[in-house]
Amino acid sequence: MPKQFKKSTDKNKRQKFAFKSPKGMHDILPDDQFYWERLSKYGKDVAEFYGYHKIETPILEDAEVFLKTLGEESDVVEKEMFFVKGGGKDKYVLRPEGTAPVARAFIEYGMSHRPQPVKLWYSGPMFRKEQPQAGRFRQFHQIGFEIIGGSIDPIYDAQIILASFHILEQAKIKNLVINVNSIGCRICRPHYRKKLIEYYKKNERDLCVDCKRRLKTNPLRLLDCKNANCAPLKVKAPSLLDNICVSCSSHLKLVLEYLDELSLPYVLNPHLVRGLDYYSKTVFEIFTDQSPLALASGGRYDYLLETMGSRPTPGTGSAIGMERVIELMRATHNASAKSSKEKVFFVYLGDLAKKKVLKLIEEFRRTNIITQESFGKDLIKRQMMLADKSGAQLALILGQREVFEETIIIRDLKSGVQETIPITKVVDVVKKRLQ
């Protein structure tokens, strides 16, 4: 419920403990809908233009869908999933991300029998039990793109990046930069991982607390440490770029060539790694200089479907964090863009006129003209004030005299010019005036 309605007018009935939305989960209030609708539209337009088909998966999934794919020791799985009671104990979870459910659907509905690759997109809420912060919520929304099946072609990575990039561009986010890296494949990554561990083991004493832990749980994350003390070690650490196999490095090289071809602004960031296990080869994140948070991210997941029991099937995808984008849209979109859709405002005087207006509105319903009224405020002055506030173009004024004469006053709210017309013609005249 919107905040402004939470208070009861009856003092005796007032609740001692006010209800609140769950921690880290927010209502999208009427005033914000403008941004959500805009961003959703950008997503839909881009998806349709590039031939992605929309898919909607349930908000609940079998926990195994994520346990098996995201990595047992990843934080998302280990401590950030909401388990749902009922339907078997701990069987279902609120989905923490969108790729694994889409992959599940791909397998379940035999989409490998469609022309390959299959391009899919989705939009909806995701849930992670994190400590909330600016731009980090327990319920958040993503627009995601996936290209599944076909060959392991770097051009698909470029297309996936392109789709996310265009949405951000349409949302008028300035100074976008794409960070790109390759985290290798199942052949070269273990070698690199070993090399990295060996290197850091030698220097374990100088590592920060977090990095000591990372060394055991997720060594690749060492590259991403922000602690200044670890920085010197990072510089000398073996680089992913020097250690991935020929197949992976030529794949990355082609991705970059395609990005060049599309004139997309990118930087090669050898320290970029992702938290989810299913990624391989290309990974990327899109940033703007107006926020430290990634607005979109994604990568290639050539082993994901295999992990889920399918034939080996490559894939690549990305997701945009809608809340993070909307936060930036607020700053750039001016309020005038939010102008009201209401075109016609009814003003009445007297009970008889009030009754007539009720019926007149129904006549406008058959046209596409949106009307508004303010029943319950009988003062004509108040009604005019509200008409003005509503942003309506025309006011239709019906008083006792007009009811008697079967006329109505049509008033242009900008110029203040008004005329009296027969009430039978009001729909036609309004239609003409609005064109």
Q: According to CB under 7 A, which residues from 335 to 374 bind RNA?
A: 349-351
Q: Determine if 146 is a binding residue for RNA (CB under 7 A).
A: no
The smaller minimum CB distance to RNA, of residues 233 and 296, is found at 296
CB 128 within 8 A of CB 121: no
Q: Determine if 296 is a binding residue for RNA (CB under 7 A).
A: yes
Strands 83-84 and 92-94 turn out to be: antiparallel
Round to whole Å and give the CA distance between 99 and 235.
33
Question: What does 77-124 look like in DSSP terms, one character per residue?
Answer: HHH---EE-SSSTT-EEE-S-SHHHHHHHHHHTTGGGSSSSEEEEEEE
Q: Determine if 132 is a binding residue for RNA (CB under 7 A).
A: yes
Q: With CA atoms as reference, report the closest residue to 313 among 58, 118, 161.
A: 118
Q: Determine if 20 is a binding residue for RNA (CB under 7 A).
A: yes
Q: According to CB under 7 A, which residues from 372 to 401 bind RNA?
A: 376-382, 384-385, 388-389, 395, 397, 399-401
Q: With CA atoms as reference, report the closest residue to 289 among 143, 174, 427, 142.
A: 174
Beta bridge partners of 291: 288
CB 73 within 8 A of CB 274: no
Q: Determine if 135 is a binding residue for RNA (CB under 7 A).
A: yes
The smaller minimum CB distance to RNA, of residues 79 and 202, is found at 79
Q: Determine if 35 is a binding residue for RNA (CB under 7 A).
A: no
Q: With CA atoms as reference, report the closest residue to 304 among 278, 334, 281.
A: 278
Q: Determine if 210 is a binding residue for RNA (CB under 7 A).
A: yes
Round to whole Å and give the CA distance between 314 and 299.
11
Q: Determine if 89 is a binding residue for RNA (CB under 7 A).
A: no
Q: According to CB under 7 A, which residues from 215 to 254 bind RNA?
A: 218, 221, 224-227
Q: Determine if 285 is a binding residue for RNA (CB under 7 A).
A: yes
CB 280 within 8 A of CB 300: yes
Residue 213 CB, shortest distance to RNA, in Å, is 7
The smaller minimum CB distance to RNA, of residues 91 and 271, is found at 271
Residue 311 CB, shortest distance to RNA, in Å, is 25
The smaller minimum CB distance to RNA, of residues 291 and 310, is found at 291
Residue 138 CB, shortest distance to RNA, in Å, is 7
The smaller minimum CB distance to RNA, of residues 244 and 294, is found at 294
With CB under 7 A as the contact rule, the residue among 34, 40, 67, 75 that binds RNA is 75
Q: Determine if 125 is a binding residue for RNA (CB under 7 A).
A: no
